Chain A
Amino acid sequence: MGLEVNELFKQYGGKTVVDHLSFRMDEPGVYALLGTNGAGKTTSIRMMLDILAKDGGTAIWNGKPLSVNTCNIGYLAEERGLYPKYALMDQLVYFAELRGVSKADAKKRISHWSKRLELDEYLYPEQHKQSQLQTPARRGMFAGSKKEKPKLADQLSKGNQQKIQFLAALLSDPELIVLDEPLSGLDPVNTDLIKNVIREEIAEGKYLIMSSHQMATVEEFCTDITILHRSKAVLQGNLNEIKKGYGRVRLHVKTEQDITRYLQEAGIAVMSEKECEYELRVTGEEQANALLFRLMNDHVTIITFDLREPSLHEIFVEKAGEADERE
């Protein structure tokens, strides 16, 4: 059960843009589709969701072809927008109704998410104004001022528009949520706000597919990944197992003295260095321990010594590089 994507294939004018992509989600969680720009992430999502016709392959949800008829889908598209000149509330009710949500339910859900995503000021300007007026310092200052007009999309900042779009994706209380670059363009405060909502959705047992090239963001949430590079899947599987497979080979060292000599003697590859702070690649724990022993023996002041698995970013860059070399 869950989601099963088999051999998705797409060509444009003879050029393959998605090359037999397959993956599955047997239980709720977050699946990440990662890749460089133009790797085929968005096209894969569009085919899965039946927005774009497939040249081959299937997307199955609980044994049936994935579509809005078989699955309640929430989608935050990569290309985001709102009708600039229509009232926000009208648009949201319309989006919800298109997903089969009644007008009354839609209004309740909009109200809930509006509070959660701190959008009351834009979706309920009149109520927001009233609540502002109840603040003693402001009482009387705006008394008798004219009624607030419904807000239009083009009166909102880009970040707030993005929150509205995120809200729209959740209006049908979806079981499968597809988020294409969900945090791009958001400020840190709003990023945290959205991240918290994503965590809540995961906790509620939803299936999430996230597409991004911001590895750190995805790494926070995802359990399984597919890395796409030039239309092909170059790495797939459970993120923890992939990392374990690489072993603890990344060493971050910060000292008070220059340790270049020790690194050369130990034959350790330096990936980056800046003011006695080193990003190193070691062969394993033994090599790292040997370095630590020598530094301590020579009374080098160690501020940080962190041996860890490679980050998703590092895995991604390595895999993309390998794929380029093969081609």
Chain B
Amino acid sequence: MKGSDRYRGLKKVFTFTLQQMFRNKSYRGVLIALFVMGLFSIPLMVLTNGGGIMDIDDPTETAGGVAHVYVVNDTKYAFDPAALATGQFEDIPFEAAEAIPEDTGMILPTDAYVVISGKGKQVNVDVYTAKLAAGSSLADRTVALVQQLALEKSGLDDAAIMALSKQVSLDNLTESQYTDSRKVSFDVQYGVQLIYAIVVMMLSIYALSYIAQNLAEEKSSKLVEFLLISVKPGALVLGKVLACMLFVLCMMACMIAGVAVSWVVSSRFLDTSVVLQNFMLAGLSSSMFSFGFSVGAIVVFSLALSFATFSLLGGIFGATSNTMEDVQKAISLPMVLIMAGYMVSIFGAVSESRTAAAVLSLIPVVSAFTAPVNYVCGNISFGLLALSWAIQLLILAGLAVFGGRVYEALLIHRGERVKLKELFSLAGRRERRAS
């Protein structure tokens, strides 16, 4: 059979299935519900993390809750406090002060104190604020300003100051130190693993259940025999699987769009900084998302592999069901596999052993949840990740071949749901005949 013949009608099956999914009220309801969930996510997080409604006219809201900055300069440098009033602090009054009041009761929660002190050539900058994020930003500005003043005082011209201001860092590391330096902190690794495992689990479970439902619906409609005149079993199943996969991606997109809209809108009137602060405390900092294009490609490829694997599993197990009632029973095994992969990946992330990371990255199913995270976090080499991909690709190809063998028999099978043992028997029978 020519390849083109084998997949004739695939596009029509795909288009029709997707079209009907979008026309179906309950499927549309799911998309809307996910978008709405996304919309509510940020306000809910703000409120549950102790944030509140932001007064747009209040400059302290943009300045991280700081309303007044006092600068205590104990150095010989002529420091103008107003020079710090830039960016998020531009609407905040900066004032010189002699010292931090001894009576701390005099200090308001919205006050910030920048203390510049020096002994010999050493200059120290200390910032005291109620909120960490604002303090860190104030300290960075003050240090930069002090450095510039020191260079100006030494009589250098602007060009020399600019050249000296360029930061050059030096790393002198042994091989093991270098490898360790690639490792991210435990908190970050756990955070990344948690997020990635949740994404894989959501994609897999949704794909599995939607595909299985669609195939069972196809079989229970008793149309399969009529359709098989026009399309081959592989094309019929693949068309449905691909349509369901795209629908699941649309579901994810709806949720992400909801969160994005929510973030943009919420940040205009809610104090969203509390959400970021809590993420930072949980190890989920913005640095996690600044891995670059290559890591992004690795994550996307790994996600696509797991998504395709669990979708094909959904196709096979869905085709074993003859009625909608059978679907839940049929997908219980792959569902358990997904849950097991998720749980092992979460518990495995606690371990800091490289051997454990390597093993978890190679075990089928679990590797779908762990391999890219272990690579990104520096626990395994690219070679090991490639080996993990190769194993996953082999499984995917195996599932595709297995599915190709059993779809024909499964689609026109009637009666009780086909059990796992019978499934293998069907594939074996087909093989014998082919030989």
Closest to A78 in B: B225
Task: Tell whether B229 is near chain A: CB-to-CB under 8 Å.
Answer: yes
Complex-state Cα separation, A99 to B13, whole angstroms? 12
Contacts of B227 in A (CB 8 A): 95, 98
Inter-subunit contact A77/B226 (CB<8 Å): yes
Contacts of A83 in B (CB 8 A): 20, 217, 221, 223
Mark each residue of chain B from 379 to 418: 1 if its CB lies under 8 Å from any CB of chain A, else 0. 0000000000000000000000000000010001010000
Closest to A69 in B: B5
Inter-subunit contact A77/B230 (CB<8 Å): no
Complex-state Cα separation, A81 to B226, whole angstroms? 9
Inter-subunit contact A75/B408 (CB<8 Å): no
Task: Tell whether A321 is near chain B: CB-to-CB under 8 Å.
Answer: no
The minimal Cβ–Cβ distance linking B414 to chain A, given in whole angstroms, is 8
The minimal Cβ–Cβ distance linking B115 to chain A, given in whole angstroms, is 71
Complex-state Cα separation, A79 to B20, whole angstroms? 23
Inter-subunit contact A86/B20 (CB<8 Å): yes
Closest to B429 in A: A13
Complex-state Cα separation, A67 to B13, whole angstroms? 19
Inter-subunit contact B221/A52 (CB<8 Å): no
Q: Is the interface of B mostly helix, strand, loop or mixed?
A: helix
Contacts of A52 in B (CB 8 A): 408, 412
A98-B408 contact, Cβ under 8 Å, with A75-B226, A86-B20, A165-B226: no
Inter-subunit contact A98/B412 (CB<8 Å): no
Task: Tell whether B228 is near chain A: CB-to-CB under 8 Å.
Answer: yes
A80-B412 contact, Cβ under 8 Å, with A51-B229, A94-B12: no
A80-B12 contact, Cβ under 8 Å, with A53-B433, A86-B20: no
From 138 to 184 in chain A, residues with beta carbon under 8 angstroms from any chain B beta carbon are 165, 168-169
Inter-subunit contact B412/A68 (CB<8 Å): no
Inter-subunit contact B226/A46 (CB<8 Å): no
Contacts of A79 in B (CB 8 A): 222, 225, 414
Q: Which of A53, A68, A80, A97 contacts B222 (CB 8 A)?
A: A80
Complex-state Cα separation, A27 to B407, whole angstroms? 36
Contacts of A84 in B (CB 8 A): 221
Task: Tell whether A261 is near chain B: CB-to-CB under 8 Å.
Answer: no
Inter-subunit contact B231/A81 (CB<8 Å): no
Inter-subunit contact B226/A80 (CB<8 Å): yes
Contacts of A165 in B (CB 8 A): 226
Q: Which of B13, B19, B221, B228 contacts A82 (CB 8 A)?
A: B221
Complex-state Cα separation, A73 to B227, whole angstroms? 12
Complex-state Cα separation, A211 to B226, whole angstroms? 15
Complex-state Cα separation, A79 to B221, whole angstroms? 10
Inter-subunit contact A98/B225 (CB<8 Å): no
Task: Tell whether B24 is near chain A: CB-to-CB under 8 Å.
Answer: yes
Inter-subunit contact A55/B225 (CB<8 Å): no
Task: Tell whether B77 is near chain A: CB-to-CB under 8 Å.
Answer: no
Contacts of A90 in B (CB 8 A): 16, 19-20, 23
The minimal Cβ–Cβ distance linking A167 to chain B, given in whole angstroms, is 12
Inter-subunit contact A97/B12 (CB<8 Å): yes
Complex-state Cα separation, A76 to B225, whole angstroms? 9
The minimal Cβ–Cβ distance linking B107 to chain A, given in whole angstroms, is 68
Contacts of A326 in B (CB 8 A): none
Task: Tell whether B9 is near chain A: CB-to-CB under 8 Å.
Answer: yes
From 190 to 246 in chain A, residues with beta carbon under 8 angstroms from any chain B beta carbon are none
Most buried by B among A68, A82, A169: A68
Contacts of A81 in B (CB 8 A): 220-223, 226
Number of A-B contacts (CB under 8 A): 65
Complex-state Cα separation, A46 to B223, whole angstroms? 14
The minimal Cβ–Cβ distance linking A95 to chain B, given in whole angstroms, is 8
Complex-state Cα separation, A168 to B227, whole angstroms? 10
Complex-state Cα separation, A267 to B293, whole angstroms? 99
Complex-state Cα separation, A62 to B225, whole angstroms? 24
From 216 to 258 in chain B, residues with beta carbon under 8 angstroms from any chain A beta carbon are 217, 220-223, 225-231
Closest to B218 in A: A83
Task: Tell whether A280 is near chain B: CB-to-CB under 8 Å.
Answer: no
The minimal Cβ–Cβ distance linking B404 to chain A, given in whole angstroms, is 12
The minimal Cβ–Cβ distance linking B282 to chain A, given in whole angstroms, is 44
Complex-state Cα separation, A82 to B225, whole angstroms? 11
Task: Tell whether A15 is near chain B: CB-to-CB under 8 Å.
Answer: no
Complex-state Cα separation, A78 to B225, whole angstroms? 9
Most buried by A among B13, B20, B23, B217: B20
Complex-state Cα separation, A78 to B24, whole angstroms? 29
Inter-subunit contact A85/B24 (CB<8 Å): yes
Complex-state Cα separation, A77 to B230, whole angstroms? 13
Closest to A80 in B: B222
The minimal Cβ–Cβ distance linking B359 to chain A, given in whole angstroms, is 42
Mark each residue of chain A from 91 to 110: 1 if its CB lies under 8 Å from any CB of chain B, else 0. 00011011100000000000
Mark each residue of chain A from 57 to 79: 1 if its CB lies under 8 Å from any CB of chain B, else 0. 00000000000110001011111
Task: Tell whether A268 is near chain B: CB-to-CB under 8 Å.
Answer: no
Closest to B434 in A: A53
Complex-state Cα separation, A46 to B413, whole angstroms? 13
Contacts of A46 in B (CB 8 A): 225, 412
Inter-subunit contact A98/B231 (CB<8 Å): yes
The minimal Cβ–Cβ distance linking B42 to chain A, given in whole angstroms, is 36
Contacts of A95 in B (CB 8 A): 226-227, 230
Task: Tell whether A49 is near chain B: CB-to-CB under 8 Å.
Answer: yes
Contacts of B221 in A (CB 8 A): 81-84
Closest to B235 in A: A98
Complex-state Cα separation, A94 to B231, whole angstroms? 12
Mark each residue of chain A from 279 to 292: 1 if its CB lies under 8 Å from any CB of chain B, else 0. 00000000000000
The minimal Cβ–Cβ distance linking B35 to chain A, given in whole angstroms, is 23
Closest to A13 in B: B429
A82-B20 contact, Cβ under 8 Å, with A51-B412, A98-B231: no
Inter-subunit contact A98/B230 (CB<8 Å): yes
Mark each residue of chain B from 1 to 34: 1 if its CB lies under 8 Å from any CB of chain A, else 0. 0000100010011001001100110000000000
Inter-subunit contact B433/A68 (CB<8 Å): no
Complex-state Cα separation, A83 to B414, whole angstroms? 17
Contacts of A85 in B (CB 8 A): 24
Inter-subunit contact B229/A82 (CB<8 Å): no
Inter-subunit contact B230/A99 (CB<8 Å): yes
Since A90-B19, A98-B227 are in contact, a sample of 12 more A-B pairs with Cβ atoms closer than 8 Å, ordered by chain A residue number, is: A51-B228, A51-B412, A52-B408, A53-B408, A76-B226, A81-B222, A83-B20, A83-B217, A94-B12, A95-B227, A97-B12, A98-B12
6 smallest beta-carbon distances between A and B, as pairs: A81-B222, A98-B230, A77-B225, A51-B228, A94-B16, A81-B221
User: What would be 23 A-B contacts, judged by CB atoms less than 8 Å apart?
Assistant: A46-B412, A52-B408, A53-B408, A53-B430, A55-B433, A68-B229, A69-B5, A76-B226, A79-B225, A81-B221, A81-B226, A82-B221, A82-B223, A83-B20, A83-B223, A86-B20, A90-B16, A90-B19, A95-B230, A97-B12, A98-B231, A99-B229, A168-B226
State the A residues within 8 Å of B (CB).
46, 49, 51-53, 55, 68-69, 73, 75-86, 90, 94-95, 97-99, 165, 168-169
